[in-house]
Amino acid sequence: MNDTPFTHTQDQLKQLARDMLALAREQGASDAAVEISEGSGLSVSVRKGNIETIEQNKDKGLGITVYFGQRRGNASTSDFSADSLKATVEAASNIARFTAEDDCAGLPDADLIETAPRDLRLFYPWPISTEQAVELGQRCEAAAFAVDKRITNSEGASVYVQQSHFVAANSRGFLGGYPFSRHTISVAPIAGKGNGMQRDDWYTSSRDPKQLAAPEKVGRYAAERALARLNARKLNTRTCPVLFEAPLASGLLGAFVQAVSGGALYRKSTFLLDMLGKQVFPSHIQVVEDPHLIGGVGSAPFDDEGVKTVRRKVISDGVLQGYFLSSYTARKMGMPTTGNAGGAHNLEIVSTATRRTDDFEGMLRKLGTGLLVTELMGQGVNYVTGDYSRGASGYWVEQGVIQYPVEEITIAGNMRDMFQQIVAVGTDTLVRGNKTTGSILIENMVIAGN
């Protein structure tokens, strides 16, 4: 791994992992798992053309979990010296010896381990200097100010560069790791003056810096979004269709994942309890998880436990086909792991009813008269009952045409009903983190206003 920002090679990290497992065996552990990581990054922010912050990080860490039967202990360190590694294993072992037994604790079964991980090309180093990063941020913010004189201020523009690698191993024969990267350019301009000020933001993010949008494009679009929010009005309380803009629609997908994840399920703290094999969405909705997308933010050849990841349909024709389970939560439920220790991988929600004309303008036409939501505030989701209530702003739409911006409203409903009332998913797809979705139209929600 020459010409990388790392001080250790993958081979060196693998040897450290082997050494840690050997130390665990010397302590009498029946099983052990270790993860070692190292990373470096650069973060700069500028505001009104001036440098606000410059941060450089260089970190490393090692964590080990040991098992004495079904008693578990873990400890971590950032010191890779021999004495520190030995002390860390001893600390984890001492914790395990005095911990109560948990009949679901333990490593994944050996036959589930990924022994030949594929290269998903997740590492794209960006050898950018601090001066170059500052210039990118300044170009991004300057482009926002240049759009219109009504862009009067800015919360700043940022450039973030991160490059890391890791190795994980366990006593069941797993040993694997890889380098990965994530780079971002963002800006948050402010339009208007006094009590009429409005802000918005936009960003571009990718593992590969060549795939980032031009900073000028990011700045211009963020400014246009802020300007469009000027002279916002309030709405009277009503019930109407609601269109979630694509960046917010990914949040609906995230809420679904949380509701069908092992921790919520075995604790019975989810509104989607016992819904496996049942209708959760309308029959035109499909949700696919694909951990093997080349360069994907959510891509991984194995999960945090070394279990093989697989492409699967989580929702098929609206019916829930599978949960998101780790080995521990799967045992709690008497089910096999789904390879989701560490969370969901690349998810995409699509509709078989979607047409080529269902771009953003097409989705506004489908909305007809109702609310387009472009910003949400507060947490407002009760995952036990599914009740949903969040502060919002956006635009009032009539006959498929945006009429004026709106603010200081609350949208409310129940997530179970909202999922069932998805009318359409747009072709205006956007990748946000590990989720890909277009705008999502919900048949009816309560809008609380004046």
Supply the angle between the helices 215-228 and 130-147 in degrees, to the nearest 10.
Answer: 40
Gap between the Cα atoms of 394 and 374, Å rounded: 5
Chain segment 14-67, per-residue pLDDT in tens: 999 999 999 999 999 999 999 999 999 999 999 999 999 999 999 999 999 999
Confidence check: pLDDT of 1 > 70 = no
Angle at 211 between CA 205 and CA 214, to 5 degrees: 80
Per-residue pLDDT tens over the stretch 270-307: 999 999 999 999 999 999 999 999 999 999 999 999 99
Q: If you average pLDDT over every residue of the chain, what do you get? A: 96
Fold topology of 10-228:
PmbA/TldD fold (3.30.2290)
pLDDT digits (tens, 9 = 90+) for 87-100: 999 999 999 999 99
What are the domain boundaries of the chain?
10-228, 238-448
Sign of CA dihedral 47, 246, 379, 239: positive
Interatomic CA distance for residues 135 and 169, integer angstroms: 41
Span 126-141, average pLDDT: 97
pLDDT in tens, 343-368: 999 999 999 998 989 999 999 999 99
Spatial CA neighbour of 439 closest among 253, 224, 177? 253
- pLDDT value for 450: 82
What DSSP element (H or E) covers 137?
A: helix 130-147
Give the mean model confidence (pLDDT) for residues 178-198: 96
Backbone angles phi, psi at 328, to 5 degrees: -65, -50
Q: Which of 259, 39, 18, 41 is nearest to 133 (CA)?
A: 41
Tokens describing residue 402: 């945006």
- The CA angle 309-311-317, to the nearest 5 degrees, is 140
CB 288 within 8 A of CB 347: yes
pLDDT at res. 358: 94
Distance in angstroms (rounded) separating the CA atoms of residues 398 and 400: 5
- The model's pLDDT over 62-79, given as tens digits with 9 standing for 90+, comes to 999 999 999 999 999 999
Q: What percent of the chain has pLDDT over 70?
A: 99
Please state, in angstroms and rounded to a whole number, the distance separating the CA atoms of residues 343 and 341.
6
CA within 13 Å, CB half, 259: 28
Q: Average the pLDDT over 246-268 and give the result.
A: 96
- CA 397 to chain CA centroid, nearest Å: 30
- Give the torsion through C-alpha atoms of 219, 207, 348, 158, to 10 deg: -30
